[in-house]
Amino acid sequence: METILSAGGCSDLLALNCKFFKFNWLGWRRFAWDFFVIQIGFLLFGLAIDVIVQASLGLDPWDVLQMALTYHLPITLGESNIGVAFIIILVDVALKEPLGWGTIANMIFIGVWVDILRPYVPLVPGSVIVQLGYLLLGVLIMGFATAIYIRVNAGAGPRDTLMLALSRLGKISVRIARTIIEVTVVVVGWMLGGPAWLGTLVSALAIGPAVQLGFKILKVRTSNTEIAETVN
């Protein structure tokens, strides 16, 4: 039995506001498996963030902002990740962009894994070559984590949902929408003292190829052409 919750209608079995939520229900066994798989993706995503942090060459755009917030508030990087994602989801809902259960799980668990794994990720020696290698390792892990997450097809993450909303409302491509959002985020994060440097540029340029590699090795095919466009 397949139950689909979307902006077009609701199931009598699940009382959810389908105007803002879409859910393809394929049974508890499938949901449990998808939840397990998506947690592997979230764990790897949290690990990737910690590796990039410990490379000490600058962070990816969103983490520039999220790390900056930890300098001004008594919170960890993981808590900052969760808080920013929560605010973004509120904006997504206000912009009438539908969420998936993976959107909510993304908000919660990536930040949790960032804080759990942080003590176990070592700081690399102060050699730029080694640091760059560590940074690229983090980006590679993030690419595979993204591929695993997209493979589950549980809805775009909070930040990608915002990107899709901006694309729809502004009548621009998702690639341009992503660029506008990430440049804005980096500038705000940098103004707040966030670590924007070489690693920020490298991660921005390398994440697309890393995700594509993850897609190829894991044989991921997504029906969401809008999300796929951003990593091509």
Indicate the domain borders of the chain.
34-230
Question: Measured between alpha carbons, how far is residue 193 from residues 60, 79, 82 in Å?
Answer: 14, 18, 20
Q: For position 13, what pLDDT does the model report?
A: 42
Q: For position 170, what pLDDT does the model report?
A: 95
Mean pLDDT in order along the chain per 10 residues (232 residues) = 40 50 81 96 98 96 97 98 97 92 96 98 89 96 94 91 93 91 96 96 92 91 56 48
Q: For position 39, what pLDDT does the model report?
A: 97
Inter-residue contact 144 to 44 (CB < 8 Å): yes
Q: For position 226, what pLDDT does the model report?
A: 53
Give the SS3 label for residue 154: coil
Cross-strand partners of 99: 21
Q: For position 126, what pLDDT does the model report?
A: 79
Cα(first)–Cα(last) distance of the chain, in Å? 35
Where does residue 172 fall: left (phi above 0), alpha (psi -120 to 50 degrees), or beta otherwise? beta
Rounded Cα gap, residues 159 and 80, in angstroms = 14
pTM summary value: 0.88
Q: For position 5, what pLDDT does the model report?
A: 40
